[in-house]
Amino acid sequence: SQQGEEDPQALSIQEGENATMNCSYKTSINNLQWYRQNSGRGLVHLILIRSNEREKHSGRLRVTLDTSKKSSSLLITASRAADTASYFCATVQLGAQKLVFGQGTRLTINP
């Protein structure tokens, strides 16, 4: 079952602005991952953050994890039109193999 909730469901901003997406989950996790999906395409793995990590950076991406609140955020700085896509968080529960995906955020970057 889906355990992740993401907000906002849709986000539209101007190119150059920062975009922040949030993800909440319900159970204890081993790690949390963020993925990007362009329309009608497969998933691209962006970043993985372990349960004992609080923040991670990768290029223009910054991910935070608050296990006490069971939430994570993805920040994309200096957005570009090419960042337009759907973004999903996914969690791996303790002792499990499978990924449980959130509902996703549809991000639109306006040129």
Partner 1 sequence: GAVVSQHPSWVICKSGTSVKIECRSLDFQATTMFWYRQFPKQSLMLMATSNEGSKATYEQGVEKDKFLINHASLTLSTLTVTSAHPEDSSFYICSASSGQSSYNEQFFGPGTRLTVL
Summarize as ranges the residues that interact with partner 1 (CB under 8 A). Answer: 1-2, 30-31, 35, 40-45, 48, 50, 88, 92, 97-104, 106
- Residue 91 CB contacts under 8 Å (≥ 6 apart), including other chains: 3, 4, 25, 27, 29, 31, 32, 33, 99, 100
Q: Which of 8, 21, 7, 22 is nearest to 70 (CA)?
A: 22
Helices then strands (H, E): number in the chain? 0, 11
Least distance (Å) between residue 54 CB and partner 1: 17
Closer residue to partner 1 in complex, CB, 67/103 = 103
Closer residue to partner 1 in complex, CB, 18/41 = 41
Least distance (Å) between residue 74 CB and partner 1: 15
Least distance (Å) between residue 77 CB and partner 1: 25
